[in-house]
């Protein structure tokens, strides 16, 4: 009788293999994640150190993202892929494993610029802009935040007044991703009828985008100030279905959902980079990975990464089923960004002096996550959103 030996077990596992995350995904979701990861590994990762150091993001990446199919991928029609929310989230995770700047570009294009047109625009506006934005032939940005009004957008000072059948816009928007690259800006302004949205072609007289320099975070991303000086628009530039502050806030909720997944990509890349480093780095004549303190750190970080992915997938399934509530997205964004930045910082400690160079990704990810922690709602605002859901009382003031 011949006895067949059981298959040998793996000696090591990647962090998320311990959770067997792939069991929770269908084949399409796995294929999308794999395709985006391959694009990141072959096209983006070899260049990200240079782009981060020089604080640039090549405009031609827009068309490459369009060809990849990730721009507005969760929208239906108009050249968009029409994928599930989970598939979109997984794409965000893989993009941010390369750099938060890549996910930010895709997120702003698809979940802010394109979603605002898709949800609140006229059929003419959708037909004019969405196919071009989905293909990366045009770039969009989203002008809500102002220098003095971030967490409290209701207080915005940008004003739109009627002049005959036209609108005239005046004001300033700040911290606008893609601003200097954009062909069209969704701009939110106060009117006599309340807050309204407008599509502003960036070649309109009176519109200026000033790039923000000397950033310590999101350097492989374009961040701008938008200035509107008597920008005259036809009545057809107004988003007809956008009434009140709920419209831009719903767009932000779409973008936050991508962050719930995306931040975990930065954490995963930090952890995988660090595990490989500790296995090759000898300290006192044996690998750094063989020390108990090192393994404690790696194990704790793996736990938080895996729990974050499980939370993201759960919220994604809810979004694909009946729709996810804003306070649920706040749970995901608050937890996953907070844990991701903690993982990136802890990974840096295991890299020692090497960790402060661009050769290794954790400190770059940590710097980027400082911005992610703040934009699309600060951690404090998400805490208060959850608190309101628990108590029924708003404590924002």
Q: Cα separations (Å) of 315 from 99, 256, 262, 309?
A: 23, 12, 13, 10
In a domain, 6, yes or no: no
Query: Do 239 and 259 fall into the same domain?
Result: no
Domain edge (last residue) among 243, 269, 302? 243
Domains of the chain: total: 3
Same domain (yes/no): 113, 149: no
- pLDDT surpassing 60 at residue 2: no
Q: What mean pLDDT comes out for the span 145-174?
A: 95
Answer yes or no: is pLDDT of 4 > 70. Answer: no
The percent of residues in the chain predicted with pLDDT above 90, rounded, is 95
Separation CA 69–CA 85 (nearest Å): 14
**Any domain includes 96:** yes
Bridge partners (DSSP) of residue 373 are: none
Q: What is the pLDDT of residue 42?
A: 98
Q: Looking at residue 73, what is its pLDDT?
A: 97
pLDDT cut 70: percent of the chain above it:
97
- Judge if 264 and 216 occupy the same domain: no
Question: Quick one: 237 and 262 in the same domain?
Answer: no
Count of alpha carbons within 13 angstroms of residue 40, beta-carbon side? 24
Could you tell me the CATH number of the domain that includes residue 229? 2.40.110.10
Same domain membership, residue 341 and residue 263? yes
Indicate the residue among 243, 275, 308 that finishes a domain.
243
205 and 330 co-located in one domain: no
Residues 146, 254 share a domain: no
| Domain residue limits at 195 | 140-243
Lowest mean pLDDT among 62-66, 140-144, 147-151: 147-151
Respond yes or no: is residue 272 known to be catalytic. no
pLDDT digits (tens, 9 = 90+) for 224-264: 999 999 999 999 999 999 999 999 999 999 999 999 999 99
Looking at the structure, do residues 297 and 199 belong to the same domain, yes or no?
Answer: no
Q: What interhelical angle do 326-351 and 362-374 show, nearest 10?
A: 150
Domain of residue 309, CATH code: 1.20.140.10
Residue 140 has pLDDT above 90, yes or no: yes
Inside any domain, residue 147: yes
- My answer on whether 227 and 344 are in the same domain is no
Residue 9 pLDDT greater than 80, yes or no: no
Among 291, 292, 275, 283, CA closest to 361: 275
Task: Check residue 357 and give its pLDDT.
Answer: 96
- pLDDT tier at 12, thresholds 50, 70, 90: confident
Same domain, 253 and 368: yes
Predicted local distance difference test score (pLDDT) of residue 5: 56
Please provide the DSSP assignment of 314-326 as one string.
HHHHHHHHT---H
Mark whether 255 and 387 lie in a shared domain.
yes
* Mean pLDDT across 33-61: 97
In a domain, 1, yes or no: no
> What is the longest distance spanned by two Cα atoms in the chain?
95
Considering the domain boundaries, does residue 369 fall inside one?
yes
Q: Which of 254, 327, 376, 380 is catalytic?
A: 376
**Are 174 and 298 contained in the same domain?**
no
CATH number of the domain at 131, please: 1.10.540.10
Segment 335-381, tens digit of pLDDT: 999 999 999 999 999 999 999 999 999 999 999 999 999 998 999 99
Q: Is residue 396 part of a domain?
A: no
Domain final position from 101, 135, 169: 135
- pTM for the whole thing? 0.95
Q: What confidence category does residue 3 fall into, taking pLDDT thresholds of 50, 70 and 90?
A: low
Q: Summarize the confidence of residues 274-297 as an average pLDDT.
A: 97
- Indicate whether 167 belongs to any domain: yes
Residue 76 within any structural domain of the chain: yes
């Amino acid at each position: 009788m011949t006895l067949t030996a059981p298959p040998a077990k793996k000696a090591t596992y990647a962090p998320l293999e311990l959770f067997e995350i792939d069991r929770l995904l269908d084949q399409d979701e796995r294929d999308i994640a794999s395709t985006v990861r391959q694009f990141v590994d072959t096209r983006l990762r070899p260049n990200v150190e240079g782009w981060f150091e020089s604080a640039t993001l090549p405009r031609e990446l827009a068309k490459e993202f369009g060809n990849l199919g990730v721009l507005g991928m969760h929208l239906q029609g108009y050249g968009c892929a029409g994928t599930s929310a989970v598939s979109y989230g997984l794409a965000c995770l893989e993009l941010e494993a390369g750099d938060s700047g890549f996910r930010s570009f895709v997120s702003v294009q698809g979940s802010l610029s394109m979603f605002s047109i898709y949800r609140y625009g006229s059929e003419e506006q959708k037909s004019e802009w969405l196919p071009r934005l989905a293909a990366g032939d045009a770039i969009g940005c989203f002008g809500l935040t102002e220098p003095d009004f971030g967490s409290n957008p209701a207080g915005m000072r940008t004003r739109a007044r009627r002049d005959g059948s036209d609108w005239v816009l005046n004001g300033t928007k700040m911290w606008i991703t893609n601003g200097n690259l954009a062909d069209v800006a969704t701009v939110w302004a106060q009117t006599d009828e309340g807050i309204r949205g407008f599509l502003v072609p960036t070649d309109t007289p009176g519109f200026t985008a000033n790039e923000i320099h000397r950033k310590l975070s999101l350097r492989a991303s374009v961040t701008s100030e938008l200035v509107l000086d008597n920008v005259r628009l036809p009545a057809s530039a107004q988003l007809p279905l956008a009434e009140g502050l709920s419209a831009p806030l719903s767009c932000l909720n779409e973008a936050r959902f991508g962050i719930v997944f995306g931040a975990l990509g930065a954490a995963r890349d930090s952890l995988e980079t660090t595990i490989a480093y500790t296995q090759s780095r000898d300290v006192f004549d044996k690998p750094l990975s063989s020390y108990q303190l090192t393994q404690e750190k790696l194990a704790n970080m793996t736990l938080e990464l895996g729990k974050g992915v499980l939370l993201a997938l759960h919220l994604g399934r809810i979004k694909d089923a009946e729709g996810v509530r804003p306070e649920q997205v706040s749970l995901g964004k608050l937890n996953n960004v907070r844990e991701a930045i903690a993982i990136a910082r802890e990974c840096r400690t295991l890299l020692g002096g090497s960790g402060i160079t661009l050769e290794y990704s954790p400190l770059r990810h940590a710097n980027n996550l400082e911005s992610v922690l703040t934009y699309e709602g600060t951690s404090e605002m998400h805490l208060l959103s959850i608190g309101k859901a628990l108590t029924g009382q708003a404590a924002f003031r």
